[in-house]
Amino acid sequence: MNKKLDFDIAWGGYYATISEDEEQISVFRLLDFNRDAYHVSLFSEKFEHVPSIKDIESLSPFAGHAPIDSRGLLNYKKIVLIGSKDLTKEDLVGYMYYLEHFEVSEEERSKLTSSLIGFGKEPPLKITLSIKDGELQLNERK
């Protein structure tokens, strides 16, 4: 596990993940991020090199939503923000089903959807991730 990792948070961003033990590059799309979990769409395609945004825009995810412990990001050697595309309500359907399962109200889900779509229009948030006393630390980079 890395001790530190630079990560540019772009809601709606497409990311290439490079791990220590795999030769191929995987891709995910970020739907939401917080200290506890990041929520993504996962793609099954693997790449030899970091793909361009054009290479992945037309792909369909094999999983529309997956919640993952945010500390797991430190397992990657490198995470590259390839590019982003504005999130839509359709992009967030799987995430909303997940929240509905945990009895998050329709009103709260609607507010979250609007917030995530709005966050996707902002420039990426540049942070450094690290672990201190077992807790994920987020520090903004300049």
Task: For residue range 53-77, list pLDDT tens digits in order.
Answer: 999 988 999 999 999 999 999 989 8
User: For position 1, what pLDDT does the model report?
Assistant: 62
pLDDT value for 31: 98
What proportion of the chain, given as a percentage, has pLDDT over 90? 85
Indicate whether 51 pLDDT > 70: yes
Q: What is the model's pTM?
A: 0.93
* Nearest Cα to Cα of residue 69 among 8, 129, 4: 129
Question: In angstroms, rounded to a whole number, what is the distance separating the alpha carbons of residues 69 and 141?
Answer: 22
AA letter at 22: E
